Structure 1
Amino acid sequence: MAGPSVSIVICCFTEDRWDLLLRGIGSVLEQSLPPEQVIVVVDHNRGLYLRLAEAVTGVEVVENSGPTGLSGARNTGVQTATGEIVVFLDDDAEATSDWLARLVPLYDDPDVLAVGGRVEPVWESGRPAYFPEELDWIVGCTYRGLPRVATQVRNVIGANMSFRHEVFEQVGGFHASLGRQGARPLGCEETEMCIRASINAPGTRVVYEPAAVVLHHVPANRGTLRYILARAWSEGVSKAQVTRLSGRAEILGPERRYVRRVLPRAVFRGLRSFGQGGDPGGVARAGVVVAVLAVTAVGYLNSLWQASSPRRRQPGTVFLYRRIRTDGAEAGTND
C-alpha cells in the first residue's frame, strides 16, 4: 500500500547561502523515497526569488505572502503544500538520502501528529574547544542528552521536522511573533506549534526519530562567545513568549529536566576532562555552560517581567491559544 504523499518546504531569505541552498534542494530531489512536491519559499527578497525561479527546476518557488520572518515563510509553504505530510528543511541544511524513508513510516501510526529527526552540525571552522555538545541547540542542532532511539517528545527541531497537513488545518499555522526574523536569533515557533497541536488532540504523539538525519552548516560566527550568549538570551525570551501564549508554566518540564540532569553532567564532564587529561577546553566548556544557563534564565525572567508590567503590556495581549480555521473564523480556545 502506498504511503502518504509528502511536500517538502525550504524557506530562505538571503543570497549569502546560495550554494548551501542549492545543495539542500539537490538533497531532497535525490531522496530514496521521492517527495510529491518541493517548495522553496523566499522571505521577502525579490532578487533571490527571481534568481531561484530561473536557476532551479523540479521545485515550486514562491514568495512569502505573510509577515517577514521564518514563521510567515513556513506558513506560506503550508498553504502551498498539497501533500498529506509537510516536511521542513532549513536552507543551510542537507538531507541524507534516506531522510524521508526514515521519517514517513512513523505516520503509519494515526496517533502521530509530528515527526522530527536528528540534526548534525557541520562546523565551518571546526567545533570551538569551549563549545560543548550539550549546547548544540544554540546552533539549531541535536544536543547531547536527547534520546538515541525513536521516542515521544514534546517538540521537534525546526531544521528537521514534519507534520500532518491536517494539524495546520485544525490549529492554524506557526505563530508570527516567534521564529527567526533575518539575523534576530529568536526561535521556539516549532515548540509552540507542537504544544498547541498536542493540546488540541489529547492522546496523540510527537516523535523524535534520530535515524532521520540532516547535516546543518554552522558558520564560524555562530561559534563565538558573543553569538552563544546572544542566542541564549533570545532562547530565554522565546521560551517566555511560549509560556505566555500557552498560559501553562508546566510546558517547560523538558527544560527543567535538561537543567537538572544534562547541564550538571556537562559541567562535570568538562572539569573532569581538565583534571584527568589536562584539557584546558574542559574548564572553558564548563564555564560556558554556566554562563548560558544564567543568561537564558535572565532573558526568560526579564521577558516575563516586561509582559506583566502594566506600563509595558501591549493592549490585546492574548494568553490563551486560539484555534483559527484557514478562513479566519475562530474555532474555539484552549484553557
Structure 2
Amino acid sequence: MESTPRPAVSIVIPTHTEKRWPSIVRAVAAAKSQTYTPAEIVVVVDHNPELYRRARRDLSGVTVLENLYTQGVSGNRNTGAFHTSTSLIAFVDDDVSMGPEWLGNLIAPFSDPTVVGAGGGICPDWQTGEPRWMPEEFLWAVGGSYSGMPTTVSKIRNVWSAGMIVRRETFLAVGGFRVGFGKLGNQNRPEDTELCLRMSALGGGHWMYVPDAVIRHEVPAGRSTFGFFIRRCYAEGRGKVAMAGLLDGSESLGSERDYLRSLPRAVVRNLGAAARGKGVGHALKAGGVIAGVAAAGWGGVVETVAARRTPQRVTAEATR
C-alpha cells in the first residue's frame, strides 16, 4: 500500500525593524531546524530598505522579499504567501522561536481535508519576568495562549498568526489577509481572527488548535507594564468591533461573549485565593481581570461610536 505523500510547506516570516535583528536571526534558525523540512523560508521586509539590504546580505538559505502592498503586517504576510507555491503555508512572527518538531506537529491535522488551518500553543517568553498582576486569562494581551483554551488537539474558531499554518487553496480563495486591517503603529486589529473567520466560511471548513506545537513569543520589558496591558486591551476592544463591522456583525463575536462570561469566575477564584492567604498576587490578578475588561469595553464603545459617525461624515461630504 502506497503511503500518502507529505504535503509541501513554506514558512513566511514578516519583519519590519532592525531593532529585532537578533530575534529575526533566531526565528530563521528555528525555521531551518525543523524536522519536517520546509520547502522554502521567506522573509518579507515591510518598507525598510536598510533592513531589506541587510537581510539579503546576511540571511543565507532563505528568500528575502519587500512588501508589495501598503505598510502593515497583513500585506507583508500576503507578499510572502503569494510568492510561495506549496500546498501549505506557515506563518511565524520575527520574535518567536520553536523546537524542531513544531512544524510536523502543526501539519498533522491536515490529513482531514476539511481543515483549512491550524495553530499551536504560544508560551510568553518574558524578558523581565512575568508581572504578578497578569491574569492567566489575559495572556493573549502579550501574544500567549491563555487559561481556558483547549489542552488537547481540538477544533477552534481562530488561531494566531504568530504561529499558524493555512491551506493554500483556501487562503488564496479568500484573498489572504485583509490589507489595511491589522497591526500598524498604535493600531492593533485582529487580522488573524478576521482571516480565520473568512476561511472557515468558505465551504464550511474549520481550524484546529494543536497545543503541543508550541512557540515561544518574546515579551520585552516594554510589553510587561500595566500601561501596555491597558492599551492592548483597549485596542483589542476596538479591533473586535471593527472586525464585526467587516463581517457579519455581532454574530462573529460569539467566542468573545463566551470568554467574557468566564471572567467573573476568574475574579472570584483569585479573590478567594487571596482571602485564604495564598498571596497578594491573586488579588492583583483579580484587579487585572477587571481592568482588562473595562479597557476592552471602553475600546469597543469608542469604535462603535466612530463607526456610526463615519457614514454621517461621508454622507455630508457627498452632498456638498
Bin the TM-score by the shorter chain.
over 0.9
Q: Which residue does the alignment assign to 1:296?
A: 296
Alpha-carbon separation, structure 1, partners of 2:238 and 2:212: 31
1:270 and 2:270 aligned: yes
C-alpha distance 78-314 of structure 1, shift in aligned 2 (>3 A): farther
Shift of 1:127: 0.1
Question: Any residues of structure 2 matched to 1:251-330 within 5 Å, and which?
Answer: 251-261=252-262, 263-309=263-309, 314=314
User: Residue 183 of structure 2 aligns to a residue in which SS?
Assistant: coil
1:192 and 2:176 aligned: no
Alpha-carbon separation, structure 2, partners of 1:87 and 1:180: 19
Alpha-carbon separation, structure 2, partners of 1:266 and 1:14: 37
Alpha-carbon separation, structure 2, partners of 1:277 and 1:194: 43
Shift of 1:312: 5.3
Shift of 1:81: 1.3
C-alpha distance 29-314 of structure 1, shift in aligned 2 (>3 A): farther
Alpha-carbon separation, structure 1, partners of 2:236 and 2:310: 24
1:111 and 2:114 aligned: yes
Shift of 1:277: 2.5
Q: In structure 1, which of residues 176, 180, 184 is the aligned counterpart of residue 183 of structure 2? A: 180
Q: How many residues align?
A: 312
C-alpha distance 188-277 of structure 1, shift in aligned 2 (>3 A): same
Alpha-carbon separation, structure 1, partners of 2:273 and 2:24: 38
How far does the alpha carbon of each residue in 1:204-224 deviate from its partner, in whole angstroms, 9 at most, with x for none? 211111111111110011111
Alpha-carbon separation, structure 1, partners of 2:170 and 2:311: 37
C-alpha distance 291-31 of structure 1, shift in aligned 2 (>3 A): same
Query: TM-score under structure 1 normalisation?
Result: 0.90
Q: In structure 1, which of residues 33, 36, 40 is the aligned counterpart of residue 36 of structure 2? A: 33
Shift of 1:175: 1.2
Q: In structure 2, which of residues 25, 40, 49 is the aligned counterpart of residue 46 of structure 1? A: 49
How far does the alpha carbon of each residue in 1:4-61 deviate from its partner, in whole angstroms, 9 at most, with x for none? 1101000000111111111110001010110001000001111111111111111101
Flag structure 1 segments of 5+ consecutive residues without an equivalent.
316-335
User: Residue 209 of structure 1 aligns to a residue in which SS?
Assistant: strand
C-alpha contact 1:185 1:231 (8 A) present in aligned 2? no
Alpha-carbon separation, structure 2, partners of 1:310 and 1:50: 41
Shift of 1:313: 5.2
C-alpha distance 61-312 of structure 1, shift in aligned 2 (>3 A): farther
Query: TM-score under structure 2 normalisation?
Result: 0.94
**Partner AA of 1:281 in structure 2:** G
Alpha-carbon separation, structure 2, partners of 1:227 and 1:205: 33
1:13 and 2:19 aligned: no
C-alpha distance 311-245 of structure 1, shift in aligned 2 (>3 A): closer
C-alpha distance 71-313 of structure 1, shift in aligned 2 (>3 A): farther
Shift of 1:187: 2.8
Alpha-carbon separation, structure 2, partners of 1:252 and 1:68: 27
Q: Which residue does the alignment assign to 2:318?
A: none
C-alpha distance 313-22 of structure 1, shift in aligned 2 (>3 A): farther
Alpha-carbon separation, structure 1, partners of 2:104 and 2:311: 52
Alpha-carbon separation, structure 2, partners of 1:216 and 1:108: 28
Q: Which residue does the alignment assign to 1:329?
A: none
Question: Any residues of structure 2 matched to 1:117-266 within 5 Å, and which?
Answer: 117-181=120-184, 183-202=185-204, 204-261=205-262, 263-266=263-266
How far does the alpha carbon of each residue in 1:54-103 deviate from its partner, in whole angstroms, 9 at most, with x for none? 11111101010101011110111111112110100010000111001101
User: Residue 277 of structure 1 aligns to a residue in which SS?
Assistant: coil
Q: Which residue does the alignment assign to 1:330?
A: none
Q: In structure 1, which of residues 96, 100, 109 is the aligned counterpart of residue 99 of structure 2? A: 96
How far does the alpha carbon of each residue in 1:281-325 deviate from its partner, in whole angstroms, 9 at most, with x for none? 21111111101101101111221121112565557xxxxxxxxxx
Alpha-carbon separation, structure 1, partners of 2:109 and 2:250: 30
C-alpha distance 280-11 of structure 1, shift in aligned 2 (>3 A): same
C-alpha contact 2:46 2:71 (8 A) present in aligned 1? yes
**Partner AA of 1:147 in structure 2:** P
C-alpha contact 1:41 1:61 (8 A) present in aligned 2? yes
C-alpha contact 2:121 2:211 (8 A) present in aligned 1? yes
Alpha-carbon separation, structure 2, partners of 1:133 and 1:20: 25
